[in-house]
Structure 1
Amino acid sequence: MALGGVLSQLGSIYDVDTLDTRFTTPPGLSYKAVIDARSDKRSDDALIPNTNTNPDKLDGSKRPQSPPRWRTPEFYLYYLLLSFIITSMFWVAGGVSQPSDVRYYKFERYLSPGWIPGRKIDISDAQYFTFRKNLPYMGLLLVFHPLLRRVWEAVYSPAAASSSPSRGHAPSRQGTPTPEAADARLRRRTSFDYAFAIVYLVALHGFSAAKILLILFANFKIATGGLPRKYIPAATWAFNICTLFANEVCHGYKFRSIALFFSGGAAAGDLVSDPSSLVRLGDWLDGHGGLMPRWQILFNITVLRLVSFNLDYYWSLNSRAASPMEKQLDPANLSERDRVSIPAAPGDFCFRNYVGYVIYAPLYLTGPIITFNDYISQQRYRPASIETPRTVRYGVRFLLVLLCMEVVLHYVWVGAISKAGADWSSYTPAQTSMLSFFNLHIIWLKLLLPWRFFRLWALVDGIDPPENMLRCVSDNYSTLSFWRAWHRSYYRWLLRYIYIPLGGAGFRSWRDSARSVVTYLMVFTFVAMWHDIKLNLLIWGWLIVFFFLPEIAATYLFPRRQWEARPTAYRMLCCAGAVANVLMMISANLVGFAVGIDGLQSILRGILYEYSGLLFLVTACGALFVGIQVMFEIRESELRRGIVMKC
């Protein structure tokens, strides 16, 4: 292969299409139409009316595009500045991550032997340490699970006709599975998911699997157990929010605690000297908690799927006519929007499918999150977006991110420094800021890696969930867009099940604005409590809402149409506002996920109360200004290619 071909293949790893086809396909368009357009450009107009003839520009922005600036003198200056800025950032953060640093003795115990010669690695973060330690075993499971499914499907051959056939199938055509074949595929796959889910739960949580199945059964009966229809949403929300709190307060309902309750609440001293058989049984059951005895830690992801099943079922009760057939759609080639919005058939809301969906192995622990309707649709018909070359490229991209994380942890020891109870006043403002900045990047990477791995597993298994992280954490300047791009599947879940039912947001009047702020507060209060019941996360959620407001106000006060004659001035004005946005986002995320309120106050004192700190702040704002100009151009470049990521 020629050098150009090799470089093209390497570059395709970082194509937006490799990350997720949802960003190169309009929400209402089936990806099959994109494939057809690429294979036969002459039929573009017939297949995809009112779009560009270039299949890579199916959703091009109608806003006039500016000419590329990549090779202008302005951007050559930016390249020069960025080369110095990025080098300085690593030099400052790495300078205090050395054995020669006078504070090294304080955090040395949190470091581990590394695989890069002469360097130790900081794997003091428990979340990443667990992921890293178990990655080889999860890699084997990624291979074993899809292979086991193939064996299951080869052995399990249900009758072609369903005893309760699903409604709404379009007539079969060449290359499209018949309705009977689609139903048979659904039964094969969901039966496997159901059986594997039980085994998976027992392996992960031991006897605590019974607690999870009990919660699942109670939630299922809320939706399908005969409760009056109008009470289903309220009962669903009440049950699942109470479950979140109860899981936290009761520490996963230890069997010993349950035994104590039923044994009459005997005193602890009596039980130590002469424990009852019931309490001994509880201790024994607690001692067999599987690979993850603390099952409640990650159950918040499962709660989202419980809500999704119940509300998708609730909305389906009045949407029986909204089938693909009535909408004259091909059920085998639905767009993602249709897969989510068109309800599953009545017979699909059964306990087998429910458990298979909620405990779907590749997505059970961390997500990404898909709705029940989408899960059933993809189980019935394999998504056209799952293509082996793209999945391979996605896997390579995951490995490159893993390598990036490992290298950063060898050269920036911010986790160990923080765990050792760092005295931030002993660091210069530049050192404090860079350590905080890299701390946010490490948080981003430690979340990105599990999400990418488990999505890769789902892709290999034939399910295409949404990509959770769209951009690098450093490639964000808008608070609103950052929220869309960070944990995107959760953002979409919030839109469908909370934000839109609450009426959305609008700022046409003071009354609408006040209602919208209340809506945002309710959404982000739920987001904070869903993450964990902690004060710093609640403050983080409210800060996010507070930081939305300046950006929304600026959008109304400085509309683009009024600056069409002065595009450069408008770009500079937007960049100045974006710098303030970035500073606010860094502050909010440091409070919520890194140093907390006290840590942020200490950092701000070091920056704002000293001349050197103020000088660094001005320099940092200048660096952010340069970086944001590049971010602007990245998005303009995407728009020129018809890619609208809205973030």
Structure 2
Amino acid sequence: MSALEFLGKVYSLDTLDTRFTTSSRTPPSATNAARSTGKESRDERGSQKLQDSGASPSKWKTPEFFYHYLVFLIAVPCMFYTVYNVSQPWNPEYSKFESLLSAGWIPGRKVDNSDAQYASFRDNVPYLFVVMALHPLLRRAFDAMYGSSNGKKDHNGHTMSNGRGAESPVSHMKADERQERRLSFDFIFNLCFLVALHGFSAPKVLVILYINFLLATKLDRRYIPAATWIFNIGILFANELGQGYRYSMIANILLPEKAGDAKDSGGWGSFLDGYGGLIPRWEVLFNITVLRLISFNFDYYWARNRSGSNSPVEKKQLDVSNLSERDRVDLPAKAQDYSFRNYLAYALYAPLYLAGPILTFNDYISQQRYTPKSITQKRTIAYGVRFLLALLAMELMIHYIYVVAISKAQPAWEVYSPLQLSMLGYFNLHHIWLKLLLPWRFFRLWALVDCIDPPENVVRCMSDNYSAFGFWRGWHRSYNRWLIRYIYIPLGGSSLKGAWGTVRSMVNLFVVFSFVAMWHDIQLRLLVWGWLISLFILPEVIAGFLFPKSKWQGHKEAYRVICGIGAVGNILMMMSANLVGFAVGLDGLQGLVQGIVGSWSGLGFLFAACCALFTGAQVMFELRQQELRDGINMKC
């Protein structure tokens, strides 16, 4: 394999996540067979595939796209140079943010490591790699000890079945043994990992988990959904207001000091607070765990609601060793699998504990029993190389482009030109995209090494999005799927048709994004961000009504231009909402906008920028059409 072929493999959708290239209802064995078809068979079916997919003929070599290529060749270098130029020592504003820069590893360059969230990940990357290497070694040692009295076990858990959902007694026993030893190891390792991370705060986490487990298993079934939501949303607020329930605060409540009392009644509390582990502020990272708590409760609740003596596997005549992803998520685990030990193993699963991606309880238990056939050594290595290349891209960016430090220094925005202002905002968003992508990909890589395949969180580059709906389907994708399963569909989703169905769907989206904002942090600006996202989706919905695709079949080129104009507006609105929520806030956005539209030259730049965005939208359209021509419909 040549270097270019390997690079193509690294950046293929199949390497990123097999869920992107196959239906969620397709079993892995059929997926692998479909992937192995040769180029000749694809060419033979090319015209039929094009017709079936609804994709248009390729435009990559048309005169229009040679114009788009020219725009790219001019605009992209200009964008990078503009923001690079304002980050240089000779810039008059450099002294205002220089103190936020640190010594870098690239000769002659400082590094902008001023984003606290990313710095906490970047500074600990070497240690995370050590833990990722140590974890599978410890599991193998545990497997060896576990199996010493039980004979040799099939490490992968792959078994033979009769194709009608039945297993032989031997293979059934092997699958059970694999699940038992993996869950036993996870339970032990996760508790040790929790103590190392949070020290004496680990019992606080365990108490919350235990109360949530009691709600699911002890309450009357009718009250479980309401109790689950009230408790877990309440925990989000309580963690924030209680600041992690410091022991010193608890000590002062239990043993309040009296006037003139020289004894420090909170001394023991301060002592315990002083041993908070590697991450003392456990409450900051607990939000992701809340999603797993809700997942367990509802998966258990729905499993109890199922009626009938035959299991769903028997009814559907499924091969339990080769379930599709949809079946792994939807089909309930065995009744005995909803135990407190398994619940802790899932909620505290080390590779996904800190940042996700989010895996449902049913899917986690299924993958403990059988290794998904989507996991192969070659694909995991290619995925690891892709992570390292993304990490290198971030390193180059923060060594040469200091957008975070500039925005933190709260500059006088009027000193920057409209082009400089827009590029500062644009690359700020790219920094946000990369700083979230890298932890998600690292922890997913760790899970893949551990033979667990969670969903990929990021489908596309931040700059390859023109639809608000598509953006939220592809950004933090595992969270998006969680929201659909546990909030959007239970609220009714978009099942109703017509005007009332659209109104109800928008109300449901408003509820979903309000929860998303609260889940991220209890801050007004994030609530504003959630509401802005809900509001900015509305124009896309209205445009769909006014310009339905079915009525433009005879004018496809005109429809593509209309969609391109709409995409420009969508991109501007999405950038504004995300700048408010995660970068400069409302005041910062107001300063950016005033700097751009406050003069005739700024308005002229805005028009030129919209033309460039139109070109970008047309290239994005064609990329999606190319995917359809290849038989892939990612819906984002």
Using the size of structure 1 for normalisation, the TM-score is: 0.93
Check if 1:311 corresponds to 2:302. Answer: no
Shift, 1:397, TM fit: 0.2
Cα distance in 1 between the residues matched to 2:572 and 2:504: 27
Contact 2:13 2:20 in 1 (8 A): yes
Partner of 1:370: 359
Structure 1 unaligned spans of 5+? 45-51, 161-167
When structure 1 is superposed on structure 2, of 301-310 and 114-123 the one drifting more is 114-123
Partner of 1:28: 25
Partner of 1:285: 272
What does 1:443-592 align with in structure 2 at a 5 Å threshold? 443-505=432-494, 508-592=497-581
Shift, 1:65, TM fit: 2.0
Identical residues among aligned pairs (%): 56
Check if 1:266 corresponds to 2:263. Answer: no
Partner of 2:314: 325
One-letter amino acid matched to 2:323: L
What does 1:351-500 align with in structure 2 at a 5 Å threshold? 351-500=340-489
Q: Deviations over 1:327-382 (max 9, x none)?
A: 10001100000000000110000011100000000000000000000000000000
Check if 1:75 corresponds to 2:65. Answer: yes
1:295 pairs with 258, 282, 287, which one? Answer: 282
What does 1:234-245 align with in structure 2 at a 5 Å threshold? 234-245=226-237
Partner of 1:112: 102
Shift, 1:60, TM fit: 8.4
Inter-CA distance 183–547: structure 2 relative to 1 (3 Å threshold): same
One-letter amino acid matched to 1:600: L
Inter-CA distance 255–335: structure 2 relative to 1 (3 Å threshold): same
Contact 1:484 1:491 in 2 (8 A): yes
Runs of 4+ in 1 over 6 A off after TM superposition: 52-61
Contact 2:111 2:398 in 1 (8 A): yes
Contact 1:205 1:293 in 2 (8 A): yes
Shift, 1:238, TM fit: 0.7
Contact 2:199 2:275 in 1 (8 A): yes
Partner of 1:127: 117
Inter-CA distance 309–617: structure 2 relative to 1 (3 Å threshold): same
Inter-CA distance 88–194: structure 2 relative to 1 (3 Å threshold): same
Shift, 1:520, TM fit: 1.1
One-letter amino acid matched to 1:486: W
One-letter amino acid matched to 1:185: R
Cα distance in 2 between the residues matched to 1:261 and 1:59: 70
Inter-CA distance 58–473: structure 2 relative to 1 (3 Å threshold): farther
Contact 2:49 2:629 in 1 (8 A): no
Check if 1:223 corresponds to 2:216. Answer: yes
Shift, 1:508, TM fit: 3.4
One-letter amino acid matched to 2:397: V
Shift, 1:125, TM fit: 0.5
Contact 2:466 2:617 in 1 (8 A): yes
Contact 2:514 2:530 in 1 (8 A): yes
Shift, 1:58, TM fit: 13
Inter-CA distance 67–53: structure 2 relative to 1 (3 Å threshold): closer
Contact 2:247 2:269 in 1 (8 A): yes
Contact 1:38 1:55 in 2 (8 A): no
Shift, 1:53, TM fit: 11
Residue 127 of structure 1 aligns to a residue whose secondary structure is helix
Shift, 1:283, TM fit: 0.7
Cα distance in 2 between the residues matched to 1:59 and 1:597: 47
Q: Deviations over 1:50-101 (max 9, x none)?
A: xx99999999883422111111111111111101100110111111100001
Inter-CA distance 270–243: structure 2 relative to 1 (3 Å threshold): farther
Cα distance in 2 between the residues matched to 1:532 and 1:591: 14
When structure 1 is superposed on structure 2, of 204-213 and 56-65 the one drifting more is 56-65
Cα distance in 2 between the residues matched to 1:100 and 1:482: 38
One-letter amino acid matched to 1:139: F
Check if 1:207 corresponds to 2:200. Answer: yes
How many pairs were matched up? 621
Partner of 1:186: 179
Cα distance in 1 between the residues matched to 2:166 and 2:475: 40
Cα distance in 1 between the residues matched to 2:425 and 2:390: 20
Using the size of structure 2 for normalisation, the TM-score is: 0.94
Q: Deviations over 1:82-122 (max 9, x none)?
A: 01100110111111100001111111001111222222110
Cα distance in 1 between the residues matched to 2:43 and 2:220: 51
Residue 459 of structure 2 aligns to a residue whose secondary structure is coil
Residue 572 of structure 1 aligns to a residue whose secondary structure is helix
Contact 2:458 2:474 in 1 (8 A): yes
Cα distance in 1 between the residues matched to 2:269 and 2:49: 58
Check if 1:197 corresponds to 2:194. Answer: no
Check if 1:172 corresponds to 2:161. Answer: no
Shift, 1:484, TM fit: 0.6
